[in-house]
Amino acid sequence: MRVFFAYDNEDWVTPQSDDIVKRLAELHAKHGVIGSFYTVAERARALRRRGRRDVIEALARHEIAYHNDTHGHFPRAQGVYCEELGWEAGLAELLRIEARGVQDVAAIFGQFPVTWCQGECNWAPQAVHALRQLGLASWTGSLYGTPEGMPAWYMGQLCVRRAMHVVAVQPESAEEPLFERFTRDFQRRVEEKSGEGFIYVFGHPCRWGAETWWGQEQWADYHAGKVTEPWQLEPPSRPYTRAQIERLLEETDRCLGWVAARRDLTPTTYAELNAACAEPSMTWLTATELTRAASEVRERFSCVTLDDMTLSPADVLAALAWRLSRPDAAPAQPIPVRRPLGPLSEPHALIEATAVPATTAAAAFRQVDEAIERTGALPAKVSANGLDLGPADVLGMAAQVMIAGESGPLVPGPALPEIASAQCFQETHFNSWSYPEGFEPRFLTELARWQSWTFRPARMRW
């Protein structure tokens, strides 16, 4: 079993937290295990403003991950503006904000972030795509993974459902017997997993300094529009004493030493996870392989495994559309594996069985192929010779043509793949103290489910 050590390094307003996170980095160095520090860009800039070169250098000896520019809260909550702006405008705004954050974190620590995690559940599907475009290899605070909690690909990013694997090492109070609670919870998690999978030793450095959160006492002012800039947030009003912090850090030292000494665990990092799941930049299929994929997806509307490769339903449709829109291509010509996004609006679906002429099918394949080339996403609907078809309709028709050379009657079916009914998609949520009362992100919730078209398991090669 592999164990990660991860910390959300986010409190930019409390100078006391600088020394705490430095001590945590030093404790990890003492025990010879690399920590992964999910760092908010404003936190990194605060260290630079305060001249804390010592803290920056201590953290830079470990692994730096990304935790949004201002934890996703300024100038407005990420989920709020992405819901209001929609896909394209929300993506553009997110890229504008987060590009600076990624650049600053990389420049300050001298290493490009290896992965990212949203602040709380303040996120949007636009963020998954944007941070992939900005070069982040994985989303390791993801809501999505295989039903067993193992890594998967979603919207083109490697994803891990961290919440399924966490054992908190952060204190809950100044008087807590941390070592006893941590070792008990850790051992329970090990036994639940039966020696397989991951465990995350996790904490927020700010919780070694106070029982309350940074900025927590100003949440009402934030919603009232009185806190509009990140530097207007304030530290907790009742921090722990130096003696209390020192005792908690001593307890943490015991916790880390206890884990590091175990022989049934292998400490790992997100860089190692990224490398274990990495895939070639360009992959090709033979016509025989594509026929196998078509047969599997016709039998079950789900992702497909071909030897050492996995294909999402979106990948299969993209490959079929490419091949069937080029009927004159040589049989031996390789077929590119494109990894498009799912539909970006409500996918259309037939409501009654329909006979589709060959000319109409060919026109639909061409439209899907052209849409993918033009937008990088599946179209939500194509109109061919007066017939409106959704991507699932075209996938079923294309699979039949690839297998049998012609399509039979097209029968209505689900618009989304099988995985869309899994727990992780049914319980997609957006929760943050920064959201206004009554906020209901209907578009983001549906957009996240439409992207179930892109879901496929990752293949790990440790």
DSSP one-letter code for 422: S
| 3-state class percentages of the chain: helix first, strand second, coil last, to nearest 5 | 45, 15, 40
Q: What single letter denotes the amino acid at residue 454?
A: T
Strands 284-285 vs 166-168: parallel, antiparallel or unpaired: unpaired
According to DSSP, the residues that pair with 384 across neighbouring strands are 387
In contact, 133 and 125? CB cutoff 8 Å: no
Q: Report d(CA 9, CA 65) in Å as an integer.
A: 9
Q: Is 36 helix (H, G, I), strand (E, B) or coil?
A: strand
Q: Which residues of 138-159 are buried (b: 16+ CB within 10 A; e: fewer)?
A: bbbbbbbbbeebbbbbbbbbbb
Q: Report d(CA 174, CA 212) in Å as an integer.
A: 11
Backbone angles phi, psi at 24, to 5 degrees: -60, -40
Q: What pLDDT sits at residue 168?
A: 97
Q: What pLDDT sits at residue 197?
A: 86
Q: What pLDDT sits at residue 404?
A: 93
Q: Report d(CA 335, CA 316) in Å as an integer.
A: 11
Q: What pLDDT sits at residue 11?
A: 97
Q: What pLDDT sits at residue 344?
A: 98
Q: What pLDDT sits at residue 162?
A: 83
Q: What pLDDT sits at residue 400?
A: 95
The burial class, CB within 10 Å (0-12 / 13-18 / 19+), for 183 is middle
Give me the torsion for CA of 397, 423, 345, 364, rounded to 10°: -10
Q: What pLDDT sits at residue 152?
A: 97
In contact, 68 and 98? CB cutoff 8 Å: yes
Domains of the chain: 2-277 (3.20.20.370), 284-415 (no CATH)
In contact, 351 and 412? CB cutoff 8 Å: yes
Q: What pLDDT sits at residue 121?
A: 92
Strands 138-139 vs 304-306: parallel, antiparallel or unpaired: unpaired
Q: Which long-range contacts (CB under 8 A, 24 or more apart) does 308-312 make?
A: 308/459, 309/283, 309/337, 309/459, 310/153, 310/456, 310/457, 310/458, 310/459, 311/337, 311/456, 312/153, 312/339, 312/417, 312/453, 312/454, 312/455, 312/456
**Helix and strand numbers, DSSP H then E, in the chain:** 15, 16
Q: Of 42, 25, 12, 17, nearest to 102 (Cα)?
A: 42
Q: What pLDDT sits at residue 113?
A: 98
Is the alpha carbon torsion for 43, 45, 46, 51 positive or negative?
A: positive
Q: Report d(CA 81, CA 68) in Å as an integer.
A: 15
pLDDT tens by residue, the chain, 462 residues: 999 999 999 999 999 999 999 999 999 999 999 999 999 999 999 999 999 999 999 999 999 999 999 999 999 999 999 999 999 999 999 999 999 999 999 999 999 999 999 999 999 999 999 999 999 999 999 999 888 889 999 999 999 988 778 999 999 999 989 999 999 999 999 998 877 789 999 999 999 999 999 999 999 999 999 999 999 999 999 999 999 999 999 999 999 999 999 999 999 999 999 999 999 999 999 999 999 999 999 999 999 999 889 999 999 999 999 999 999 989 899 999 999 999 999 999 999 999 999 999 999 999 999 999 999 999 999 999 999 999 999 999 999 999 999 888 899 999 999 999 998 898 899 999 999 999 999 999 999 999 999 999 999 998
**Two tokens, residue 140:** 């390791």
Whether the upstream peptide bond of residue 75 has omega within 30° of 0, thus cis, is yes
Q: Report d(CA 99, CA 102) in Å as an integer.
A: 5
